[in-house]
Amino acid sequence: MTEPGRGVIRIRGLNKRFGSTHAVIDVDLDIRRGEVLALMGANGAGKSTLIKILCGVHPADSGTVEIDGAAVDFRSPLEACAAGIHTVHQIINDGVVQQLTVAENLALDEICRPDGPLLLSRAAITARARDIQAILGLDLPLGKAMSELGQAERQLVAIARALSHDPKVLILDEPTSSLSEAEAARLFALIEDLRARGVAIVYISHRMSDIRRLADRAVVMRDGRTRAEFVRPLDFDGIVHAMVGHRVGEGGRERGTAGGRTVVEIRDFALTPTSAPFDLDLREGEVVVLTGLIGAGRTEFADCLFGTAAPHAGTVTIDGKPFRAASPREAIAEGVFMAHEDRGNSSLVAEFSVLHNMTLPFLRHFSRLSLVSPDDERRAAGGQVADLAIKCPSVDVPIGSLSGGNQQKVVLGRWLIRPCRLLILDEPFQGVDIGARQDIGRRLRDTAAGRATLVICADLEEATEIADRILVMRDFSVVGGHSIDGLSLDALVAEISGAGTHATFA
């Protein structure tokens, strides 16, 4: 194995401003060969901005970046790639082209090479794509448009393409946020192989389990500055303290409550013609987590409740009345709200401000005589910014100026503006730091009394933090249910990979 050597990248005095926001402040950092460097920090700490400077998305305002002793000043991602720096961004749509096919996305760097062939045949593109997806052992539908793939598959495409270039420096920003345990394990094995070959790896993640497994060194950013550095064995209490500036407690109210009266009754529900039917009750005041492997049917189940898909069979009642929404508009009108996993495509409007992204589904509520009241909108959005500790200068700034974690809080804040009977959150902690995760969990619990809450969550550490009850989905059916009190993680993991039959989980 290659021992970590001198720094491939040497950063000194780096600064970057966006208007009045000083996103990166006098950052010094060394990125070394044969080492996995965990770059950590709360949402809005400046991590993603720093990375975007390194990979040519943003120019620095001041400071120096050297690679192997030579100063560089990248003006485009292509220049960074040519120097051996390859990046997979947290917002996965920054790394793929939705309108192109999977094959074209996998071979995109070949297609766009300035010194490449003027024309590439479809057969050549497909052959190159097959070679690239083999790196991660993928078997994706190469002829499909990227827009037809799920978030996890798009993430795998971006990761495989980055790995195909024999990088000098590989930067991974929340790479496992949408991946199953098996997919993440394949990625970890490749990272360990790259480290052994002397590649420098910058790994950004809020998942402590990833950091424990991979990191040789951790550097913590807070408020745009580097605040602390840790080497193995990593001090995780110290890391969290450096990230948020104070000790983080459990937060939230007591878990394991019995819940109130039943809000949602689901009977003989079958998502597909071949999946086992299941029954399910969701109760007022209770936070229920639905977990399972990617492809188990969790999001498809939520889509049926929110009116973007239809089940094969079964009935749903809300407060004793039959419910089946044919569209999100109908679902919202009946008090069923949903925050999708893919916030970039399904939740946020990039051109809108924080305020208008929050109030968008409820303009009628903020209107009088068909005229929207800006004061009412501002009060509602400002209240959510305060309650969720959303880091933004004002509610009028563009949503794209916020960090990924704060964008996630805006999505949640939107659906907490108005009361509902069922709130569905699909991976609400994706890309969210531990402090923000507890802010979200606390807010969910503080507002849970008047509704049923269903949270879709693949990460078991996150699931056990928020849940009163955990349900397991496999093969498009709910196959198990567990109270948080006395939960056996071994039994839970076994059930996630086990077989299910028709069951009732009340």
In a 3-state reduction of DSSP, which class is residue 12? strand
The model's pLDDT over 300-350, given as tens digits with 9 standing for 90+, comes to: 999 999 999 999 999 999 999 999 999 999 999 999 999 988 776 677 888
- pLDDT in the model for residue 309: 92
Other C-beta atoms lying within 10 Å of the C-beta of residue 158: 23
What pLDDT does 247 receive?
A: 57
Q: Please, which pLDDT band fits residue 259 given cuts at 50, 70 and 90? A: low
Which residue has 């507002």 as its token pair?
A: 447
Higher-pLDDT residue of 65 and 347 is 65
24 or 459: which leads in pLDDT? 24
Identify which of 84, 80, 83, 124 has the alpha carbon closest to the alpha carbon of residue 106. Answer: 124
**Mean pLDDT computed over every residue of the chain:** 86
451's tokens? 């509704």
Q: What angle do CA 296, 299, 302 make, to 5 degrees?
A: 125
Q: What is the mean pLDDT of residues 171-179?
A: 82
Please, what are the domains in the chain? 7-84+167-244 (3.40.50.300), 261-335+423-430+452-506 (3.40.50.300)
pLDDT of residue 240: 82
Question: Which residue stretches of 55-150 are H helix?
Answer: 77-82, 102-106, 108-112, 122-133
- The DSSP annotation for 208-233 comes to HHHHHHH-SEEEEEETTEEEEEEESS
Q: Rounded to whole angstroms, what are the CA distances from 33 to 2, 52, 286, 293, 333?
A: 8, 20, 48, 34, 56
Token representation of residue 344 = 């970039």
pLDDT number for residue 202:
95
Separation of CA 310 from chain center: 26
Residue 6 burial by Cβ neighbours in a 10 Å radius (0-12, 13-18, 19+): exposed
Q: Supply 176's token pair.
A: 């496992």
d(CA 180, CA 168): 27
**Distance between the two ends of the chain, CA-based, in angstroms?**
52
Rounded to two decimals, the pTM is: 0.65
Tokens of 97: 């082209």
In Å, what is the CA distance from 266 to each residue of 206, 305, 450, 483? 35, 10, 19, 19
Amino acid at 155: Q
Tokens representing residue 78 in the block:
């292509």
